[in-house]
Each structure stands twice: as structure tokens, then as C-alpha cells.
Structure 1
């Protein structure tokens, strides 16, 4: 039991939230509502898993919310212009990759800190999104785009399927591949990783590209839900993506990653949001709840930092020689 709680610390909080919301609302535990929670959590988990790699590397990307907006606008505009939906979605993902590549190059080649670099990208990309859309909704009616959220392969909602695929891929990457060990090595001690012969700059760039692509995919999912793109979409999404990773147990300073924790973090946040909706709580309080969760997670991490640093964790390299292999 202790091992399970160490690897998935959100199990008990999630159970507690479910019990409380089940006692205070009549519809929380209905099958339809549970599906709504899982769909929303699936949408959030996909970018959260990419952000997990970034935080495990000891860095973060504040521009992911703006990436959601621009990629959604690009996709919907391309569909309106008569492009096939598949091509439009591929174009949107390419835009996300370019944003991530730009972040990685600015950070590694120009030496700009991740906070400043991605904050600048947040502003620039948001401006591009507003300029590209001219401040108007890009409304579409595309069955192919709609399938990203509305599809049900084998009866399972498509966002849940995508989240399962992303979770398995992320877990395998962090626990069974050399790249995953390298990411954690960079997060543990960048200079030691460089001395060990790891291609540190290429690793960092690759992770930012992955985050950019995940942000683009997030934009496609949101546009699929709304059937539109808008320059204002995605505001504050960077907080959501970082929060699910931090509360899930990934070390904020790098070196460790909890893939399962990130997924549980997404479920927890969406369960709380769903419960607040059922209780007719104003939307502003949903943002407050996310911020409070982040503060609580950081506070608990600070209190238990010594114990957390000595506890075994997934994807933590043992030695520089092992990582270099």
C-alpha cells in the first residue's frame, strides 16, 4: 500500500473528492457524468504528459495555452479555405512543432531562461493567433475534426482512447527508453549530464518540440469540441498543464517523473471542476480551485522534500554511467 501511495499519491485525495461530491450531489456518480469527467480528463492528460517530460527536465513551457489558440485557428481556417480536415490537422500540429522548436532554440542557443523565453512566446503566439483570426471565430462543420472528441471506437470516447495511448507511450518513453533516462539526467544535473556525453541541447529541444506538438493536439481537441477556432481560446491553459504534473508527483526541479500521477492529476482536477458545476458554483471559482491545488501541492512538497528526495521514483537514473549507455 505504501508503495502504491508513493507512486500514485493522488489516489486518496481522488477517492475523498469522489466521496464528498457523491454525498453533496445526486448526479456525480451517474454513468453519463463519470464519462464527462473522463473525457475532460483525457483532453487535459495529453498535454499534461508532454509537460511531465519538460518538468522532469527541470524546465517548463508557459506558451502552451497560446499554442492551443493558434493551432486551433490555423486548423479551422484551413478547413474553411477548403483544405481536407486531415491536412488541416497536420498543419496545426506542424505549427505546434515549430513553436516548440523556436522555444528550444531560443533557450539552448541564445541562453534565454525558459521562464522568459516561453513567456515571450506566449505573448507573441497569442498576438499571431489574434491577428490570424482577425479577432473573429473561425466556425467549421467538420465530421473528421469532430471525431477527435465525438468518436467512440469500440464504444469508448475518443479522448479516453487518445489519453490511454499517450499514457502508455509516455510511460514507456520515461521508463524503458534511453531518451527518458536522458531527460531525467538533464533534470537531475545538467552539467553532469553534459560531462557524461549526453546531447543535452538536443534533448531539451526535442522535449520542447514534443510540448509544442501536444499543445497543437490540445488545440485540435478544443476546436473539435467547439467546432471553431478563436484567438482567445487557451488562456490560462498553461496553469492547468503544469498543475496536473506538479500535483501528480513530478519533481518541479527535475530529475523525476510520475506518468500515472499526471493522469490522476487530470482526473482530480476535472472531477473537482465537474462537481463545482453540479453545485452551480461560478466558473471563476474553478480557476481558484486549480490555483489552490497547485499551492497545496508545492507546500506539501516543501514539507516532505527530504523524504521525497530519498524515496525511489520512476524514471530516476542511478548513475551518470548508466544514463550514458
Structure 2
């Protein structure tokens, strides 16, 4: 008699199915864990509490505009002016503080400036019919110029406990940027999965004309998304100025790449129609973990930018391969 080959029980099979589905929903979790393991082996400073806190705080800061950009990219568009918005927002807020205005009022004005940039982008795109790439690229140059002109090319140095609390403060022991990022993530998840606005964003990204014919207020939704991105860029600018305690027309250079990269590597397609909030959060963590690891290994800053650019290329390549793969699977 021969013994029957052992087979996996239903519980084991069900476990593997759940694991596979979890990986599909959060594909960056695996490379993030592997990267953490590698950094733990090559440097003994990675797992220190202070270092992990720095990584999470940095990820939280970039995740806030990334979550807003998730809506924009899910809509099939993107905003290249967000880096310049960071600069202008911080410059305005810090200049107002230097001028003797209350820090809270100055920060509010900064946020309104960021939202105004987003509103202008939305109106140019929807009312004038300019493509988002051209419109937001033009705004990138214009807003940067306005920021430099507003500051006169000089840094606005501040010493404001209120502004500093935004980046260095803690709420029940949790760093304030992490608190803001968690709140933004919960709001983004709710908007995407539980509101008509979120469904409209994805519908516009899937087929704008079909969404318009179905009665959706396409132009209003598009404009609102740009306002959200502008406001998120304003929050980003306040956080950076809070860290540095200054406003400058030079801040935010290249930040638009970071905001777009965390979204794309997180699984949100540049073609639109789908938004991944969890993917964006993991994308922010992955990018900041890479940066942190390169810093621990004393890698020059230029190579950090190269690594982020290469990561974006890899993510776009994977998206292209998925689009070109037949539904029946690879042949």
C-alpha cells in the first residue's frame, strides 16, 4: 500500500488566499519589509527609535500632498505646480509672522494662498481648456517667480513657537506631522470609498466624456480637486517652513516629483480611474526609507534624487506592462 500525498487543508489554503489578496492590495509592503531588513543588516542605526521616528515623520509630511495628488492622478491629471506652491505658502506665512501678525493668522493666509493657486489651476484647465501638463507647468514657473519676487530673493527667518509646533510638536506623544498625515489618510479614504465626490473623481478618470454625459459636474469636480492639491501643497509648505523656521523662494524645488512618485509607485495609474490611499501611504514610507538608508550610508544627495527618479521609472514600467498584458494572463 502507498501512502496518500499530504494535501493542504482548507485553513492553509484560505490563509494563502488572504495573504495573496493582501499583497495585491498593498504590493509595496513586501519591498518595504525587505528594504528594512537589508538596512537593519548593513547599519546598526536604522532600527533606533529616533531614526524610525524621523522616517515616519518625513513620510507623513510627503504623504499629505501625496494623498491630494492621488485624487488628481485618479482623475487622469496631475499638478506640476505643487513644489512652487510649497515655496510661496511658506514665504507668505513667514513674511506675515515677521511683519508682526499672529502665527495662526499667517498660517491660515498661507493655506488660502495655496488653495488659490489650486483654484487658478482648476479654472485654467476647465474654463480655458488648457491641458493640465501645460497649465500646471506654467504655474510652476509663475508661482516660483511670484515667491522670489515676494521675498525679494531673501529668506524670511522666523522664531515662532506656534509655527514650530506644526513640525516639532507632539499630540499624546505622537509627532504632529504624523497626526496630520493620519487625519489626511482617513479623510482621503473616506472621500474615495464613501462619497459621491470620490466616485466622481474615479469616473472622470475612467472616461471623462461618459461621466459628463451621465450628468456628473465634471468641471466642478476637477476644479475642486486642484483646490485640494493646492491646499495640501500649502500644508506641505507650512511644515517645511516650520522645520527650517524660515520662508524662502528657493524651497520646494523638485517637490512635485516626490508628490507624484509616492502616488504612482503606490499603484494609482497615471491613466486615472483608480485611487489607492494605502498605496500612497506605503509609497511615502518606501521613499523616505530609501532616503534614510542612503543618508545612513553617507550617500551624496544627488544619488538620492537619482534613486527616486529610477523608482518612478520602474513604477511606470510596471504599469505599462500591466496595461499590455492580456486579461487572460501572460502568454
Q: 1:197 aligns with which of 215, 218, 224?
A: 215
Can you list the C-alpha shifts for 1:109-154, whole angstroms capped at 9, x where unaligned? 0000000000000000000000001111100000000011111110
The answer to whether structure 1 residue 254 and structure 2 residue 277 are counterparts is: no
Instruction: Determine the structure 1 residue equivalent to 2:100.
Output: 82
Number of residue pairs the alignment of both structures matches: 311
In the alignment, which of 281, 299, 302 is matched to residue 317 of structure 2?
299
Give the structure 2 partner of residue 314 of structure 1: none
Alignment partners' CA distance in 2, 1:23 and 1:53: 37
Which digits, 9 at most, give the CA deviation of each residue in 1:193-212, with x for residues without a partner? 00000000000000000000
1:72 aligns with 2:90: yes
> Displacement, 1:300?
1.1
Counterpart position of 1:41: 59
Distance 2:263 2:326 in 1: 16
Find the aligned partners of 2:211 and 2:327 in 1 and give their Cα distance: 19
Structure 1 residues 310 and 57: CA distance shift in structure 2, 3 A: farther
- In the other structure, the counterpart of 1:92 is 110
Counterpart of 1:23 in structure 2 is 41
Stretches of structure 1 that go unaligned for 5 or more consecutive residues are: 312-325
Name the residue aligned to 2:4.
none
The alignment's TM-score, normalised by the length of structure 1, stands at 0.94
Cα distance in 1 between the residues matched to 2:140 and 2:206: 27
Computed over aligned residues only, the root mean square deviation of the Cα atoms, in angstroms, reads 1.3
**Structure 2 residue ranges without an equivalent (≥5):** 1-18
Matched, 1:269 2:287: yes
Determine which of 118, 126, 149 is the counterpart of 1:108: 126
TM-score, normalised relative to structure 2 = 0.92
Rounded to whole Å, the distance in 2 between the matches of 1:233 and 1:144 is 20
Aligned counterpart in structure 2 of residue 59 of structure 1, from 52, 77, 81: 77
With over 3 angstroms needed to count, the CA separation of the structure-2 counterparts of 1:30 and 1:106, relative to structure 1, is same
Label 1:308 to 1:91 Cα distance change in 2 as closer, same or farther (>3 A): farther
Residue 6 of structure 2 is matched in structure 1 by: none
